[in-house]
Chain A
Amino acid sequence: MTMDCESVRRTLGAWLDGEVSEKESREIRAHVEACPSCRAERSRLERLQFVLRAALEEGASKVTFESFWHGIERRISQGRVRHREFWDWLRPVILPRRLAWAIPVTVVCVLAVLFAEQFFFGLGWGPRSNVAAVESIDGHGFNLALLRESETKTTVIWLFEDEDEEEDEPAPEAASTDASL
Protein backbone atom coordinates (compact mmCIF):
# COMPACT_ATOMS: atom_id res chain seq x y z
CA MET A 1 0.00 0.00 0.00
CA THR A 2 1.50 3.33 -1.09
CA MET A 3 1.44 6.33 1.26
CA ASP A 4 -0.16 9.67 0.37
CA CYS A 5 1.62 13.00 0.84
CA GLU A 6 -0.25 13.95 3.99
CA SER A 7 0.67 10.80 5.90
CA VAL A 8 4.26 11.01 4.62
CA ARG A 9 4.69 14.62 5.82
CA ARG A 10 3.15 13.69 9.15
CA THR A 11 5.83 11.04 9.75
CA LEU A 12 8.67 12.74 7.88
CA GLY A 13 10.31 14.12 11.05
CA ALA A 14 10.20 10.72 12.75
CA TRP A 15 11.61 9.10 9.57
CA LEU A 16 14.59 11.51 9.53
CA ASP A 17 15.23 10.68 13.20
CA GLY A 18 15.14 6.96 12.41
CA GLU A 19 12.09 6.35 14.58
CA VAL A 20 9.90 4.42 12.10
CA SER A 21 9.81 0.73 11.22
CA GLU A 22 11.84 -0.65 8.36
CA LYS A 23 8.78 -1.30 6.22
CA GLU A 24 7.39 2.18 6.82
CA SER A 25 10.81 3.64 6.14
CA ARG A 26 10.97 1.93 2.71
CA GLU A 27 7.52 3.25 1.77
CA ILE A 28 8.37 6.81 2.86
CA ARG A 29 11.67 6.71 1.00
CA ALA A 30 9.94 5.50 -2.18
CA HIS A 31 7.30 8.21 -1.89
CA VAL A 32 9.82 11.00 -1.18
CA GLU A 33 11.96 10.03 -4.18
CA ALA A 34 8.88 10.04 -6.44
CA CYS A 35 7.12 13.12 -5.00
CA PRO A 36 8.82 16.52 -5.59
CA SER A 37 6.83 18.39 -2.95
CA CYS A 38 7.60 15.81 -0.25
CA ARG A 39 11.25 15.77 -1.31
CA ALA A 40 11.30 19.52 -0.85
CA GLU A 41 9.72 19.16 2.56
CA ARG A 42 12.38 16.59 3.48
CA SER A 43 15.13 19.00 2.41
CA ARG A 44 13.55 21.76 4.48
CA LEU A 45 13.43 19.59 7.59
CA GLU A 46 17.03 18.42 7.09
CA ARG A 47 18.22 22.02 6.85
CA LEU A 48 16.24 22.92 9.95
CA GLN A 49 17.83 20.02 11.88
CA PHE A 50 21.28 21.07 10.72
CA VAL A 51 20.76 24.67 11.80
CA LEU A 52 19.35 23.67 15.20
CA ARG A 53 22.22 21.24 15.84
CA ALA A 54 24.79 23.83 14.93
CA ALA A 55 23.13 26.43 17.14
CA LEU A 56 22.97 24.02 20.11
CA GLU A 57 26.60 22.95 19.72
CA GLU A 58 27.72 26.55 19.52
CA GLY A 59 25.70 27.46 22.63
CA ALA A 60 26.91 24.45 24.57
CA SER A 61 30.53 25.30 23.91
CA LYS A 62 30.00 28.67 25.61
CA VAL A 63 28.57 27.13 28.79
CA THR A 64 31.21 26.66 31.57
CA PHE A 65 30.63 23.51 33.57
CA GLU A 66 33.69 23.94 35.79
CA SER A 67 31.86 25.40 38.79
CA PHE A 68 29.06 22.91 38.28
CA TRP A 69 31.43 19.93 38.48
CA HIS A 70 33.25 21.46 41.44
CA GLY A 71 29.93 21.62 43.26
CA ILE A 72 29.18 18.01 42.48
CA GLU A 73 32.63 16.87 43.57
CA ARG A 74 32.31 18.80 46.83
CA ARG A 75 28.98 17.21 47.60
CA ILE A 76 30.31 13.73 46.79
CA SER A 77 33.34 14.20 49.05
CA GLN A 78 31.17 15.49 51.91
CA GLY A 79 28.93 12.52 51.48
CA ARG A 80 31.89 10.16 51.68
CA VAL A 81 33.15 11.70 54.96
CA ARG A 82 29.77 11.39 56.61
CA HIS A 83 29.44 7.88 55.33
CA ARG A 84 32.87 6.95 56.70
CA GLU A 85 32.11 8.50 60.09
CA PHE A 86 28.88 6.58 60.32
CA TRP A 87 30.59 3.34 59.28
CA ASP A 88 33.40 3.82 61.79
CA TRP A 89 30.79 4.25 64.50
CA LEU A 90 28.75 1.29 63.36
CA ARG A 91 31.53 -1.16 62.49
CA PRO A 92 32.43 -2.34 66.01
CA VAL A 93 28.81 -3.20 66.61
CA ILE A 94 27.98 -5.13 63.49
CA LEU A 95 31.27 -6.38 62.15
CA PRO A 96 31.00 -10.17 62.35
CA ARG A 97 34.52 -10.89 63.56
CA ARG A 98 34.32 -8.49 66.47
CA LEU A 99 30.83 -9.65 67.29
CA ALA A 100 32.06 -13.24 67.50
CA TRP A 101 34.46 -12.28 70.29
CA ALA A 102 32.12 -9.86 71.98
CA ILE A 103 29.42 -12.44 72.74
CA PRO A 104 31.62 -14.94 74.63
CA VAL A 105 33.47 -12.15 76.40
CA THR A 106 30.17 -10.75 77.60
CA VAL A 107 29.02 -14.19 78.75
CA VAL A 108 32.32 -14.79 80.57
CA CYS A 109 31.99 -11.45 82.33
CA VAL A 110 28.45 -12.27 83.44
CA LEU A 111 29.56 -15.69 84.68
CA ALA A 112 32.53 -14.15 86.46
CA VAL A 113 30.20 -11.81 88.33
CA LEU A 114 27.85 -14.67 89.20
CA PHE A 115 30.62 -16.96 90.41
CA ALA A 116 32.78 -14.28 92.01
CA GLU A 117 31.27 -14.61 95.47
CA GLN A 118 31.65 -18.39 95.56
CA PHE A 119 35.11 -18.30 94.02
CA PHE A 120 36.64 -15.62 96.20
CA PHE A 121 34.93 -16.64 99.42
CA GLY A 122 35.89 -20.22 98.67
CA LEU A 123 39.51 -19.20 98.52
CA GLY A 124 39.15 -17.48 101.82
CA TRP A 125 39.51 -13.97 100.39
CA GLY A 126 36.06 -12.87 101.40
CA PRO A 127 35.34 -10.88 104.51
CA ARG A 128 32.99 -13.53 105.93
CA SER A 129 35.14 -16.56 105.22
CA ASN A 130 36.25 -17.47 108.71
CA VAL A 131 33.64 -16.67 111.32
CA ALA A 132 30.78 -19.13 111.63
CA ALA A 133 27.36 -17.60 111.04
CA VAL A 134 24.39 -18.57 113.17
CA GLU A 135 21.32 -18.68 110.96
CA SER A 136 18.79 -19.67 113.61
CA ILE A 137 18.79 -20.46 117.29
CA ASP A 138 16.19 -21.70 119.78
CA GLY A 139 16.89 -22.05 123.51
CA HIS A 140 13.67 -23.92 124.34
CA GLY A 141 12.99 -21.53 127.21
CA PHE A 142 16.58 -21.18 128.34
CA ASN A 143 18.53 -17.97 128.07
CA LEU A 144 21.06 -17.85 125.30
CA ALA A 145 23.90 -15.55 124.41
CA LEU A 146 25.60 -15.35 121.06
CA LEU A 147 29.10 -13.97 120.74
CA ARG A 148 30.95 -13.44 117.46
CA GLU A 149 34.49 -12.25 117.96
CA SER A 150 36.22 -11.34 114.71
CA GLU A 151 39.77 -10.98 116.03
CA THR A 152 40.02 -14.64 117.03
CA LYS A 153 37.34 -15.64 114.48
CA THR A 154 35.32 -17.25 117.21
CA THR A 155 31.58 -17.82 117.41
CA VAL A 156 30.19 -18.82 120.80
CA ILE A 157 26.65 -19.86 121.67
CA TRP A 158 26.21 -19.73 125.43
CA LEU A 159 23.43 -21.43 127.33
CA PHE A 160 22.31 -20.24 130.79
CA GLU A 161 20.64 -23.32 132.22
CA ASP A 162 18.79 -21.56 135.09
CA GLU A 163 19.13 -18.54 137.34
CA ASP A 164 20.28 -20.47 140.44
CA GLU A 165 23.11 -22.09 138.57
CA GLU A 166 23.92 -18.80 136.92
CA GLU A 167 24.51 -17.27 140.36
CA ASP A 168 26.68 -20.22 141.40
CA GLU A 169 28.63 -20.36 138.17
CA PRO A 170 30.68 -17.39 137.05
CA ALA A 171 29.09 -16.30 133.83
CA PRO A 172 31.61 -15.63 131.09
CA GLU A 173 32.48 -11.98 131.03
CA ALA A 174 32.58 -11.61 127.31
CA ALA A 175 29.36 -13.47 126.84
CA SER A 176 27.53 -11.30 129.35
CA THR A 177 28.88 -8.02 128.04
CA ASP A 178 29.33 -8.36 124.30
CA ALA A 179 26.96 -11.07 123.33
CA SER A 180 23.61 -10.53 121.77
CA LEU A 181 20.73 -12.93 121.50
Chain B
Amino acid sequence: MNRLQKLPRLTLLCSLLLVGLSAPLGAAEKAPQGLHLRIGTILASNESEDFDPKLSRMKNQLEVIKYSSYRLIKEEVQKVQWRLNAVFEVPGGRSLVILPQEYRNQRLALKVRLLQGDKPLVDTTVRLRNRGYFLLGGPAHEGGVLILSIFAMTP
Protein backbone atom coordinates (compact mmCIF):
# COMPACT_ATOMS: atom_id res chain seq x y z
CA MET B 1 0.00 0.00 0.00
CA ASN B 2 1.55 3.29 -0.98
CA ARG B 3 1.79 6.33 1.21
CA LEU B 4 -0.99 8.17 -0.52
CA GLN B 5 -3.40 5.37 0.27
CA LYS B 6 -2.33 5.43 3.92
CA LEU B 7 -2.91 9.16 4.23
CA PRO B 8 -6.67 9.12 4.98
CA ARG B 9 -6.21 6.40 7.60
CA LEU B 10 -3.39 8.28 9.32
CA THR B 11 -5.30 11.53 9.23
CA LEU B 12 -8.36 9.86 10.73
CA LEU B 13 -6.26 8.30 13.48
CA CYS B 14 -4.62 11.61 14.31
CA SER B 15 -7.96 13.41 14.30
CA LEU B 16 -9.44 10.90 16.74
CA LEU B 17 -6.38 11.29 18.95
CA LEU B 18 -6.78 15.04 18.81
CA VAL B 19 -10.46 14.90 19.73
CA GLY B 20 -9.63 12.55 22.58
CA LEU B 21 -7.02 14.93 23.92
CA SER B 22 -9.09 18.07 23.57
CA ALA B 23 -12.27 16.66 25.13
CA PRO B 24 -11.00 16.79 28.74
CA LEU B 25 -9.76 20.32 28.17
CA GLY B 26 -13.19 21.38 26.96
CA ALA B 27 -14.89 19.61 29.83
CA ALA B 28 -12.65 21.42 32.30
CA GLU B 29 -14.20 24.70 31.22
CA LYS B 30 -17.77 23.60 31.88
CA ALA B 31 -19.28 25.50 34.82
CA PRO B 32 -20.06 23.29 37.81
CA GLN B 33 -23.58 23.00 39.14
CA GLY B 34 -23.85 25.78 41.72
CA LEU B 35 -21.32 26.60 44.40
CA HIS B 36 -20.99 26.83 48.14
CA LEU B 37 -20.48 30.19 49.79
CA ARG B 38 -19.28 30.42 53.36
CA ILE B 39 -19.50 33.81 55.02
CA GLY B 40 -17.73 34.25 58.32
CA THR B 41 -18.45 37.39 60.33
CA ILE B 42 -15.51 38.34 62.53
CA LEU B 43 -15.42 41.06 65.13
CA ALA B 44 -11.97 42.63 65.31
CA SER B 45 -11.00 45.07 68.06
CA ASN B 46 -8.16 46.27 70.22
CA GLU B 47 -10.03 45.87 73.49
CA SER B 48 -8.35 42.57 74.33
CA GLU B 49 -5.83 40.17 72.91
CA ASP B 50 -8.15 37.22 72.59
CA PHE B 51 -7.99 35.19 69.45
CA ASP B 52 -10.93 32.92 68.70
CA PRO B 53 -9.62 29.34 68.21
CA LYS B 54 -12.25 28.85 65.51
CA LEU B 55 -10.26 31.33 63.44
CA SER B 56 -6.94 29.59 63.86
CA ARG B 57 -6.81 28.55 60.19
CA MET B 58 -7.06 32.22 59.24
CA LYS B 59 -4.59 33.59 61.77
CA ASN B 60 -1.91 34.55 59.26
CA GLN B 61 -4.40 36.25 57.00
CA LEU B 62 -6.10 38.19 59.80
CA GLU B 63 -2.77 39.40 61.15
CA VAL B 64 -2.45 41.43 57.96
CA ILE B 65 -5.18 43.68 59.39
CA LYS B 66 -3.33 44.40 62.67
CA TYR B 67 -6.01 44.22 65.32
CA SER B 68 -5.26 42.53 68.65
CA SER B 69 -8.49 40.58 69.08
CA TYR B 70 -10.53 38.51 66.64
CA ARG B 71 -13.77 36.68 67.39
CA LEU B 72 -16.01 34.74 65.03
CA ILE B 73 -19.52 35.91 65.79
CA LYS B 74 -21.37 34.25 62.92
CA GLU B 75 -20.77 31.76 60.15
CA GLU B 76 -23.23 30.86 57.42
CA VAL B 77 -22.96 28.46 54.50
CA GLN B 78 -25.27 28.48 51.50
CA LYS B 79 -25.36 26.47 48.32
CA VAL B 80 -26.21 28.95 45.61
CA GLN B 81 -26.87 28.83 41.90
CA TRP B 82 -25.06 30.74 39.18
CA ARG B 83 -26.53 34.13 38.33
CA LEU B 84 -28.89 34.04 41.32
CA ASN B 85 -28.51 36.36 44.30
CA ALA B 86 -27.68 34.91 47.68
CA VAL B 87 -28.38 37.05 50.74
CA PHE B 88 -26.46 36.75 54.03
CA GLU B 89 -27.53 38.66 57.12
CA VAL B 90 -24.70 40.58 58.79
CA PRO B 91 -24.94 41.90 62.37
CA GLY B 92 -25.84 45.56 62.75
CA GLY B 93 -28.73 45.58 60.27
CA ARG B 94 -26.47 44.91 57.34
CA SER B 95 -26.71 42.34 54.61
CA LEU B 96 -24.38 40.87 52.07
CA VAL B 97 -25.75 40.08 48.63
CA ILE B 98 -23.60 37.84 46.45
CA LEU B 99 -24.26 37.09 42.79
CA PRO B 100 -22.08 34.28 41.35
CA GLN B 101 -21.50 35.48 37.80
CA GLU B 102 -19.36 32.97 35.94
CA TYR B 103 -16.79 30.23 36.14
CA ARG B 104 -13.95 30.64 33.68
CA ASN B 105 -10.29 29.54 33.63
CA GLN B 106 -10.86 27.69 36.89
CA ARG B 107 -11.81 30.95 38.59
CA LEU B 108 -15.09 32.19 39.99
CA ALA B 109 -16.39 35.69 39.48
CA LEU B 110 -18.57 37.02 42.29
CA LYS B 111 -20.48 40.30 42.37
CA VAL B 112 -20.65 41.32 46.01
CA ARG B 113 -22.80 44.07 47.52
CA LEU B 114 -22.77 45.10 51.19
CA LEU B 115 -25.89 46.94 52.34
CA GLN B 116 -26.78 48.91 55.48
CA GLY B 117 -30.52 48.38 55.45
CA ASP B 118 -31.36 49.43 51.88
CA LYS B 119 -28.35 51.69 51.55
CA PRO B 120 -25.45 50.23 49.56
CA LEU B 121 -22.05 50.53 51.20
CA VAL B 122 -19.83 48.66 48.77
CA ASP B 123 -20.27 47.14 45.33
CA THR B 124 -17.43 45.02 44.02
CA THR B 125 -16.70 42.26 41.56
CA VAL B 126 -14.03 39.81 42.62
CA ARG B 127 -12.49 36.93 40.71
CA LEU B 128 -11.03 34.19 42.86
CA ARG B 129 -9.86 30.63 42.45
CA ASN B 130 -11.99 27.68 43.46
CA ARG B 131 -11.75 27.33 47.27
CA GLY B 132 -10.48 30.88 47.38
CA TYR B 133 -11.56 33.70 49.66
CA PHE B 134 -11.20 37.38 50.32
CA LEU B 135 -11.92 39.69 53.22
CA LEU B 136 -14.31 42.61 53.31
CA GLY B 137 -14.03 44.73 56.42
CA GLY B 138 -14.48 48.09 58.01
CA PRO B 139 -18.07 48.53 59.28
CA ALA B 140 -18.07 49.53 62.93
CA HIS B 141 -19.70 47.15 65.38
CA GLU B 142 -19.74 46.93 69.20
CA GLY B 143 -16.50 48.78 69.82
CA GLY B 144 -14.69 47.13 66.98
CA VAL B 145 -15.02 46.49 63.28
CA LEU B 146 -16.61 43.71 61.33
CA ILE B 147 -14.58 41.62 58.92
CA LEU B 148 -16.45 39.41 56.49
CA SER B 149 -14.57 36.37 55.25
CA ILE B 150 -16.07 35.34 51.89
CA PHE B 151 -15.12 31.83 50.79
CA ALA B 152 -16.34 30.17 47.57
CA MET B 153 -16.10 26.53 46.56
CA THR B 154 -17.60 24.51 43.74
CA PRO B 155 -19.11 21.12 44.67
Contact = CB atoms under 8 A, between A and B. Distances in A.
A152 B60 contact: yes
Interface size class of A (residues with CB under 8 A): 35 or more
B46 interface: yes
Given A100-B10, A161-B138, A130 B65 contact: no
Interface string A101-136: 101110110010001011101101000011011111
A173 B144 CA distance: 15
A97 to B, nearest CB: 5
A98 B136 CA distance: 58
Contact of B122 (A144, A154, A156, A173): A144
A142 B121 contact: yes
Given A95-B3, A129-B129, A170-B46, A157 B122 contact: yes
Contacts of A119: 25, 28
Nearest to A170: B46
B82 interface: no
Nearest to A115: B25
Contacts of B133: 132
Interface in B4-45: 4, 6-7, 10-11, 14-15, 17-18, 21-22, 25, 28-29
Interface string B134-155: 1111111000110000000000
B134 A165 contact: no
B53 interface: no
Interface residues of B, number: 50
Contacts of A175: 65
A97 B134 contact: no
B64 A132 contact: no
Contacts of B3: 95-97
Contacts of A155: 126, 128, 134-135
Contact of B140 (A124, A137, A161, A174): A161
B109 A135 contact: yes
Of all A-B residue pairs in the complex, the 6 with the closest CB atoms, nearest first, are A159-B138, A104-B14, A122-B106, A132-B128, A100-B10, A155-B134
Given A115-B25, A144-B122, A159-B137, 10 more contacts: A96-B7, A101-B14, A103-B14, A132-B127, A132-B129, A134-B125, A140-B119, A157-B122, A158-B137, A161-B121
6 contacts: A121-B107, A136-B125, A152-B60, A154-B61, A165-B140, A174-B66
